[in-house]
Amino acid sequence: MKKRFLILGGAGFIGSHLCDALLSAGHSVRLFDRLGVPPYRVFTEQEPIEWIQGDFSSTADIEKAVDGCQIVFHLVSTTLPKSSNDDPVYDVESNVVGTLRFLDAARHAGVEKIVFVSSGGTVYGVPQLIPISETHPTDPVSSYGIGKLAIEKYLHLYEVLHGMNYCVLRLANPFGERQRVNAAQGAVAVFMNRAIHNQPIEIWGDGSVVRDYIYIANVVDALVKAAFYSGKERLFNIGSGQGKSLNDILAAIEVLLNRPVNRTYLASRSFDVPANVLDIAHAQKHLAWSPQVSFEAGLTDTFHWLSN
């Protein structure tokens, strides 16, 4: 069944890939992003796409964005884990309060379902065991993670109070084409880009920090399946299910480049938990989803995109 989708944060790394997938499947898509953010590509007149810009914290802008849309992907985040603790008040006002305005607008507009991208890397805090399942305690050590968790709870509240249907995807560390290489997030793309240009790569700590890295095509597949999922489960980890250290990533990049990369090790950061790998069995069972593109294949595609 064809649907009309809204992607909040549609110009970003994840949103742009999601938009392309939805358009390819014949759906209508409305993209919402910040003022001044240009479209990520040229759309043809035949593509059922609408591009609108506005302020996520503006009730009027969000009401306009959700009007007439059946399913909404909430990908907006105004902060990063690295910076969120510097100003928790801003984090709450811009993300949590902004989302509450959006939820009210969605409720009044009759939105059928919301798919929210949460953070599998931050909501759990320091893991008690690896891999981390959805039932693991949630003790975030960053305002970013606390904000994501709060939004999850408000989605549940709105389902209880208003019958709003939703899915939460606790996402691992996505990587792939279109990821911003000058951002403070996204180790794979940042490292790869610097290695290609023979620039030094800075590592916080000794490089032993382990994370779960998932290729963007696998993320999009999970998002689409969550949108059409009709079961009772609401919360899913989305990752590769495998951990790789920063040193592992550098080693894989060196194999692709067939040469060593220049690296510098710095002091570790207090908010970096030593390891985070997600248990994805729940999504495999209920969403009938599992990663189809391996880390190595995704890394190769990312390499070719950055090289060109």
Catalytic residues: 144
Residues 17 and 181: their CA atoms lie apart, in Å, by: 16
Angle between helices 246-257 and 295-307 (to 10 degrees): 60
Query: Which has the closest alpha carbon to 233: 123, 174, 159?
Result: 159
